[in-house]
Amino acid sequence: MKLQRKNRLRATALGALAVSGALVLTACGSDDNTESTGSGDKTAAASSNIKCDDAKGQVLAAGSSAQKNAMDLWVKNFQQACAGVEINYQPIGSGGGITKFTQGQVAFAGSDSALKPEEVTASEEICKGGKGINLPMVGGPVAIGFNVPGVDSLVLDAQTLAKIFDSKIKKWDDKAIADLNPDAKLPGTAIQAFHRSDESGTTQNLNKYLKAAAPAEWNYDDSSKSWEAKGGQAASGSSGVASSVKDTEGAIGYFELSYATASDLTTVKVDTGAGAPVEATTENASKAIAAAKVKGTGNDMALELDYATKAEGAYPIILVTYEIVCDKGNKAETLPSVKAFLNYTVSDEGQKVLSEAGYAPLPTEIAAKVREIVPTLS
């Protein structure tokens, strides 16, 4: 059953990756597969509950590459249901997305970390009469993928991961790794640790985990989206890190589960101090995300995650991706489409597609709050 599930996830993720290429064609025109009420208004496809409302034209968005595979699926489904709409999402990283948002270049941004106070202030220049807010939309595990020939299962804890990514553990047969994996035949191969070259919320969430769970070993700023640890090799985006790990013997790197699945990479089980090491799965990530608390105020839904959890079966290296929009002062020409699209992504139907693509749907209570906020955007 586990193998069947892995194959199903891999097939879904690969399909999602293929979607992005197809989306480029929408700018040149697309087939209209929707049904009409006869009045000429756009409606959702017969097999979908997507409400298009007054959505039309092109919406530019950018940011988190963590949610790229989810966004590809959402965009595909939304555009099939709503003729005449193009959602153009560029997965350039959370930092780049926030910059484009605060400069007024995109209608919304995707970020794996909430806006900083100075970024909220900057957004007020664009959101006339309002400000940028964080709307959680998709969660999931940050998987640690590895490529060590002859090793099919690997357990690591926060302290060991911190030393690996800080270039303090340099060989795969190091005693710290061997003690956690007494039955593994670990080679003396040099460790090739890969990290993101771009500003990334994925990097920030890994920083937060290592800082929370191994504070003595990880002495870097956990609010930074940039990689600050010593050594290692850099690659662009989650896809670049995953590809590098797949192509490099002795490699290890971090990326969302969907990228590990698409690249057929085995992932690390994390020893959290619970009864058994925890595998990176959507179900295990959901157990950790469900304990999140809202730290934002008003319509801001920024969350506080527990990275040091020792709850049974809770995978601790998690992230939540936010869609960042203006609460007030959105551009009139894109607002209807943004609201219709976000109404879909946070709906039961939109959240349902996430699990099979390697993501964790939002906890019920959080999703319900976001559904109340989206219609109020103005």
Q: What pLDDT shows up at residue 3?
A: 39
- Give the separation between CA 91 and CA 71, rounded to whole angstroms: 9
- Give the separation between CA 103 and CA 280, rounded to whole angstroms: 36
- Give the Cβ contact number of residue 375 at 10 Å: 11
Distances (CA, A) of 363 to 64, 139, 288, 306, 360: 20, 9, 10, 15, 9
Q: What pLDDT shows up at residue 356?
A: 78
Residue 17, SS3 per DSSP: helix
Q: What pLDDT shows up at residue 15?
A: 40
Number of H helices, E strands in the chain: 13, 13
Q: Is the dihedral of CA 209, 210, 216, 220 positive or negative?
A: negative
User: pTM (2 decimals)?
Assistant: 0.80
Q: What pLDDT shows up at residue 358?
A: 82
- Give the separation between CA 36 and CA 41, rounded to whole angstroms: 7
- Give the separation between CA 283 and CA 71, rounded to whole angstroms: 20
- Give the separation between CA 133 and CA 45, rounded to whole angstroms: 31
Q: What pLDDT shows up at residue 48?
A: 73
In 172-265, which residue ranges form alpha helices assigned H by DSSP?
175-180, 201-213, 237-247, 257-262
Overall size of the chain counted in residues: 378
Residues of the chain with pLDDT under 50: 1-47
The mean of the pLDDT values for the chain is 88
